[in-house]
């Protein structure tokens, strides 16, 4: 077993739409062959782990559902820790519904403990109105993620979960609790699932606001790939920076990971006295 592991974003890192990004297949299969622990992290709550694993398998990567960790699972794990007989009114689709049910969260239409918002294309105004009134009457608002938009398979953009959550926040005056990247709850739970300390964990992603920010906040070694939504010229717009920048996973292999891990300090330097 390796003494390090990886948390890996998906869209923009291993594929774009239905196309594999060059180098991704070889990199992921090398991790499998060398028994290096890793999880794919996604802020998309629509699909189940099996659905996502099947998509990746068809792209030639030898993964299983155990390699998948979604914001829907993060949300379900959190709600399950809040007490027994937790109930939720859900705006979302199959992946979210499945994760909640597998964690004994009952989905109801009346008097829920929580209103949970995930990805979806089947919202109606009546559903948003119902959610609004449930929140006003005491249900707590939970977001599977706060991504404002999402890429579509045809290269376009659609409103994301965060846009729907913002609407409900404005309508109710209540703030949502977010359980997707860069939430430390999701990022820490994922790291614990692969059984590693923070100093031995890589976070690979293409988005500064989620993957890189979340990883840096928890002390992971963050690798930004430029094969997705971030360009090299964008990086100076942020107060924080990734530890490593590469064009794509074609520029990464196990030898490079081991070199990066060897260089990473496993303790924080002492702070200067005030």
Q: Give the residue numbers marked as catalytic.
A: 9, 11
Token pair recorded at residue 39: 């999880």
- Smallest CA-to-CA distance from 43 within 85, 10, 2, 3 is with 10
Contact status, residue 87 vs residue 105, Cβ threshold 8 Å = yes
Q: In what order do the strands lie in the sheet with 221-225?
A: 68-70, 38-42, 5-8, 201-205, 221-225, 244-246
Using CB atoms within 10 A of its CB, is residue 90 exposed (0-12), middle (13-18) or buried (19+)? buried
Contact status, residue 143 vs residue 165, Cβ threshold 8 Å = yes
Name beta bridge partners: 274: none
Buried b (16+ CB within 10 A) or exposed e, 52-88: bbeebeebebebeeebbbbbbbbbbbbbbeeeeebbb
């Amino acid at each position: 077993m390796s003494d390090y592991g990886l948390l890996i974003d998906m869209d923009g890192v291993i594929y774009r739409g239905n196309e594999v990004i060059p180098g991704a297949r070889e990199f992921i299969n090398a991790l499998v062959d060398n028994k290096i622990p890793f999880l794919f992290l996604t802020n998309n709550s629509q699909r189940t782990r099996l659905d996502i694993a099947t998509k990746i398998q068809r792209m030639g990567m030898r993964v299983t559902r155990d390699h998948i960790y979604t914001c829907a699972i993060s949300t379900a794990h959190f709600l399950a820790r809040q007490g027994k007989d937790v109930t939720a009114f859900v705006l979302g689709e199959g992946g979210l519904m499945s994760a909640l049910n597998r964690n004994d969260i009952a989905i109801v239409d009346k008097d829920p403990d929580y209103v949970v918002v995930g990805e979806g294309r089947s919202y109606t105004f009546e559903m948003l109105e119902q959610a609004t009134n449930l929140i006003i009457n005491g249900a707590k608002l939970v977001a599977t993620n706060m991504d404002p938009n999402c890429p579509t398979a045809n290269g376009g953009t659609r409103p994301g979960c965060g846009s729907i959550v913002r609407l409900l926040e404005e309508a109710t005056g209540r703030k949502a609790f977010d359980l997707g990247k860069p939430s430390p709850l999701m990022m820490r739970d994922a790291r614990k699932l692969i059984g590693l300390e923070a100093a031995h964990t890589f976070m690979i992603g293409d988005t500064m606001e989620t993957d890189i920010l979340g990883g840096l906040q928890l002390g992971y070694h963050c690798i930004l790939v430029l094969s997705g939504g971030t360009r090299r010229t964008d990086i100076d717009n942020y107060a924080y920076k990734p530890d490593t920048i590469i064009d794509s996973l074609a520029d990464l292999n196990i030898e490079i990971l081991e070199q990066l891990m060897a260089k990473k300090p496993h303790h924080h330097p002492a702070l200067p006295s005030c």
